[in-house]
Structure 1
Amino acid sequence: MTSVKTILKETLEYSSRRNYVGWDKHDGMSSRIRRKLPFKHKLTNLAFQETIKRAPVNLRPILLIEQQPNPKGLSLFTMANLNAYIEFSSERYLSEAQTLCERILSHDVDGVDGFCLSHQHTLQDLSDTKSPGTPNIVSTSYGVKALLQASNIDDKYAVVAHRSADFVKSELLTTDQDQYRISYTPTKEDSYTLNANALAARLFIDLYDQFCEDEYRVIAEGILNYVKDQQEEVGGWKYTDPPSASHLGMDNYHNGFIIESFLRYQEVTNENIFKETIQDGVNFYRNVLYNKDGSPCWDESSTYPHDIHAAAQGIVTFTHAGDIEFARTIIDWTIKNLYAGDGQFYYQTSKFYTKKYTLMRWCQAWMAYALSTFLRYRDRSNI
C-alpha cells in the first residue's frame, strides 16, 4: 500500500495545481441557472441546494456552479502545508503556507469588529437565506488556528488572529453565571449549535496558549461547561440545544469537533476537570460512530453514508486522543474505499455506490489536514 507520506504529498500537489479552488458541498445556490430564474423562492432554493448536495453524481458542471476558494479550506490547507514542512523539511511547503495565510487575510469580513471568516456561497435553510460574507464561528476558528500555527513565519498572523476575540465577544457571546454560549453567526437564534460552541472554546484556548491572557481560558472553560452539560447519557452530543431545533442527531464529525476541543483544553491547561466527559465522549465516538474496520458511521442510528469528512475528523480526533492505532485503521479504510489515486479523494460511499467526485474543502483540505496531523503527532504519548 502507498505510504501515508506519499499520499499526503500527492494530495497537496493535486490541490496546489488547482490553486486550492474547487466545488464545495454547500454551493448549490451558486448555480448560474438558478440565479437566472425569473422568480426566487425558498423551495426552489432548497431544491437546487439539496439536490446538488445529495445527488449520486456531480451535477455542478451541468448546473453551471462556479468553483471558488473557501476560507475554511484555505485554513486547513495552510496547516497541512505547515505540518508537511515539519515532516519533510521542504521550503516549498513553508512558502505555500505563507501564500495561503495571505489569502486567508484577504477573506477577513469587512465591516465587522475583529477578525472573522465566512462561507462564500449563499445558503438556504427553512427559515431564511444567509448571504455570502455572513461571518460564522466555525470558519473563523479554523482561520485563527491556521494563523496562530503560522505565527513563526510572520508575527502579523498572530496579531490578526488575536483580533478574533473582539469579533466573538462582541457579536456571538452570551453569558449565564459560569456558562458561556456562542451563536453560530451574529444573527441571534433560539437554539445553539453545540459543535460550534466547542470550536469557539478551542479558539479561545488557542489564543490563551499563544498570548497567556487568562480571560481566554475562563471563556473557554465556561463554554465547555455548557457543552459538557449537553452531553447525552450515552456519551455523545446532539447537533443543537435544544435537540428539536435540528433534524441532525449525534452525527459523526460534529462529535469529533467537540471531543477534539475538550482534548485541546486539557492539553493546554494540563487540567483534568473534563476527564470523564472526554472518556465518555471518546468511548461513544469510537464504539458507536465507527465500525471496527475504521469506516465512519453517519450518526448513532445510521451506518451510511460513509463520509470523507467524518473519516478525516476521526483521524484527527483519535490522533490527538492518543489512539494512533485506530487513527491508522481509519486511514487504511479511507485509502481503500475513497482514494482515487494521484492525490484525489472521493466524497462519500453508500451501501450501493460511491459518489466519485471531489469537493476541494470537504475532501482534499480535510484529508490533507488529517494525514498531516497524523504524521506530525503519531509519536506522541497519550494526552
Structure 2
Amino acid sequence: MSNTSSLAPELLSVKSSSNLAKTDLFNSIQRLSRWLEEHDYRGYDTFDGLSARFVRPFTFNSALLRTVLLQGVRRFPINLRPLLGVRAERSTKGMGFLARGFMRLNKATGDPVWNQKAEASLQWLMGHQSSGYTGACWGNHFDYQSRAFYLPKGVPTVVWTSLIGHAFIDGYEHFGQDRYLQTAVSACEHILHDLAALPDKSGVCIAYVPGRDSRVHNANTLGASLLIRVQSITGNEKYRDLAESALRYTSECQRQDGSWYYGEKENLHWVDNFHTGYVLDCFQHYERSTGNSQFHETMMRGYRYWKSTFFLPDGTPRYYDHKTLPLDIQCSSQAIDTLVFFRTQDHDSLRLAQKVAEWTIRNMQDRSGYFYYRRYSRHIVNKTPTLHWGQATMLCALAGLFESI
C-alpha cells in the first residue's frame, strides 16, 4: 500500500470528528431528498455516454469508438452530457436504493411520508422490469460497452437484479406484503434459470449477464446474497445450494492479504473499495440469514483488510488499494453502508462510518443538496449529478447510519 498520509493535505483540508451530529446528518438527508423530488428522481449515470444522441452515430458500431465515447464522457471533469444529448433519467438500480433508504428513514423517524416514497419506488420498479426472461430482473436504461462485451439497453445484470431484489425483501419485511416477497422469489428464479452457474474451483460463479461467461466476484456474491435471504424465508433449498456454491468459489479466490480481485481474469486484476464492500456485505447476509459461520473467517479477514486499507485518518475513502484518487462518491456511500452493516462485529465501525459521512457531506455535497460524482484534487471536481451512483446510494447509506446512531 502506498504512503497515504502524505496525500491527505494535498487533497483537502477539513476538520474531522468521530461524532457527526445526528441533526446535521438528518439535515443532509433532507436536502438530498428535496433535490431528488425537485428533479423527479432523475439524474445521469456514470456509464450513460452511449446515450449521447448527437455523437453516438459517429461511433460507427465500433467497439473501440463506443468505449472511447463512454469513457470520455465518464472521465471528463465537466459534465458534457447536456451538450451531447444525454438526458437525465430514472435508474432501476437507483430506485432500488431509494426504496431501501426510505424504509430506513421510516423506521428511524416513524414519519409515514417515507413509507409512501418507498412504496412508490417499489411500485415503479415492478413496472420497469426487463422482459423476456424467466423471472423478475432489471438492467441499464442505456447501452453499455465494457472491456469484454457490449450490453444493450434493458439486458439484465445480476448486480442490478440482486440489489433491487434486496429492496423487495426489505419491503416484504417492512410492510409485510406478500407481493414484494413474490417479486424477490421471481428474481431468484431468473438467477437460477437465466444465468449460467459456471463451475470453478470447488464451487460455481454466477454469470454477470445472461448468455455470457462473465465472472466477477461482487456480481457472483450479490446473486448469492439474494438467494440466501429469500431461502431463509421460503425454505427453497435450490437457492441455498447455489448460494453456498457461489460463495465457496469467491471464498477460495480470496488473496493471502484478505483482498479479492474484481475478477480472476488477468485484465480484471484490481482491488477497489466499493466492490470489496459489496462482497463483504454478501458474506454478512449469508451468516445473518443462515446462522452458519462457515465463511466467517473469510469475511472477517476481508473486512480487516478493507478497513485498514481504504480509509485515510480523516475518514477520506480511498478508491484503490494502491492509491487514493479519484475520490468517488460510490466509495463513500458503500463504505458507510458496509461499516454500519458490520457494527455487531466491530464496535468501532459506526465511529468510522460517521467520519466518512462527515467528510463526504463537507466535501462532496452541493449547496443544492445533491452529491458530486468525483474529486480529482482540491480544485478539480466533477459535479455531475448522477442518480444511482451518488444520490440514491448516499440516501440509502446515510439513512442506515441515521437509523443506527
Quote the Cα distance in structure 1 between the aligned partners of 2:191 and 2:383.
Answer: 38
Q: State the partner residue of 2:282.
A: 261
Taking CA–CA contacts closer than 8 Å with sequence separation of 6 or more, which of the two structures ends up with the larger relative contact order?
A: 2
Aligned-pair CA distance for 1:127: 4.3
Q: Which amino acid aligns with 1:349?
A: R
Cα deviations across residues 163-210 of structure 1 (Å, max 9, x unaligned)?
112111112142649523200001222x51011011111111221233
Shifted more, 290-299 versus 119-128: the winner is 119-128
1:276 aligns with 2:280: no
Instruction: Give the aligned CA root-mean-square deviation in angstroms.
Output: 1.7
Is the 2:365–2:371 contact (alpha carbons within 8 Å) kept by the matching residues of 1?
A: yes
**Structure 2 counterparts to residues 1-383 of structure 1, below 5 A:** 3-37=24-58, 39-151=60-172, 152=175, 154-174=177-197, 176=199, 179-189=203-213, 191-242=214-265, 244-246=266-268, 249-322=270-343, 323-352=349-378, 353-378=380-405
5+ long unaligned stretches in structure 1: 379-383
Change (3 A) 1:185 1:275: same
Please report how far the alpha carbon of residue 307 of structure 1 lies from its aligned counterpart in structure 2 after TM superposition. 0.7
How far does the alpha carbon of each residue in 1:333-353 deviate from its partner, in whole angstroms, 9 at most, with x for none? 111211113421111112342
Q: Deviations over 1:342-365 (max 9, x none)?
A: 421111112342212321111100
* Amino acid in the other structure paired with 1:45: R
SS across alignment from 2:322: coil
C-alpha separation in 1, matches of 2:387 and 2:123: 19
Give the share of equivalent positions with the same residue, in percent.
Answer: 25
Contact 2:196-2:211 at 8 Å conserved across structures: no
- The alpha-carbon deviation at position 5 of structure 1 amounts to 1.6
Q: Secondary structure at the match of 1:113?
A: coil
1:36 CA displacement: 4.0
| Distance across 2 between alignment mates of 1:41 and 1:112 | 28
- Paired residues of 1:73 and 1:361 also in contact (CA < 8 A): yes
| 8 A contact 1:173–1:180 mirrored in 2 | no
State the distance in 1 between where 2:85 and 2:27 align: 34
Counterpart CA distance in 2 for 1:28 and 1:10 is 28
How far apart, CA to CA, are the structure 2 residues paired with 1:38 and 1:280?
A: 45
Shift of 1:42: 2.1
Cα distance between partner residues in 2 of 1:38 and 1:350? 28
**Secondary structure of 2:311 counterpart:** coil
Matching residue's letter, 1:337 = N
Runs of 4 or more off by more than 6 Å in structure 1? none
Q: How much has 1:111 moved relative to structure 2?
A: 0.8
CA distance in 2, matches of 1:153, 1:104: 18
Q: Distance in 1 between matches of 2:75 and 2:59?
A: 25
| Alpha-carbon distance in 1 for matches of 2:228, 2:367 | 37
Report the Cα offset of residue 292 of structure 1.
Answer: 1.9
Deviation (angstroms), 1:35: 3.3
Aligned-pair CA distance for 1:143: 1.3
* d(CA) in 2 for partners of 1:9, 1:211: 36
> Per the alignment, do residues 230 and 127 of structure 1 end up closer, same or farther by CA in structure 2, a change over 3 Å counting?
closer
Partner letter of residue 347 of structure 1? Answer: Y
For 1:381, the equivalent position in structure 2 comes to none
Does the CA contact (< 8 Å) of 2:329 and 2:374 recur in 1? Answer: yes
What one-letter code is carried by the residue in structure 1 that aligns with 2:208? Y
After superposition, the C-alpha distances for 1:277-330 in whole angstroms (9 at most, x for unaligned) are 122111111111222211111111121011110111000111111111111111
CA distance in 2, matches of 1:216, 1:188: 21
In 1, are the aligned partners of 2:43 and 2:386 still within 8 Å (CA)? yes
Give the CA deviation at 1:38. 8.4
Q: Aligned equivalents of 2:216 and 2:25: distance in 1? A: 34
Query: CA–CA distance in 2 between the matches of 1:76 and 1:187?
Result: 27
Distance 1:348 1:105 in 2: 31
With 20-29 and 264-273 compared, the bigger mean Cα shift is at 264-273
CA–CA distance in structure 2, aligned partners of residues 108 and 357 of structure 1: 26
- Give the 3-state SS of the residue equivalent to 1:67 in structure 2: coil
Counterpart Cα distance in 2 of 1:331 and 1:285: 17
Q: Distance in 2 between matches of 1:333 and 1:141?
A: 29
Return the offset for 1:253.
0.4
Shift, 1:153, TM fit:
5.6
Question: TM-score when scaled to structure 1?
Answer: 0.93
| Alpha-carbon distance between aligned partners in 1 of 2:246 and 2:59, rounded to the nearest angstrom | 45
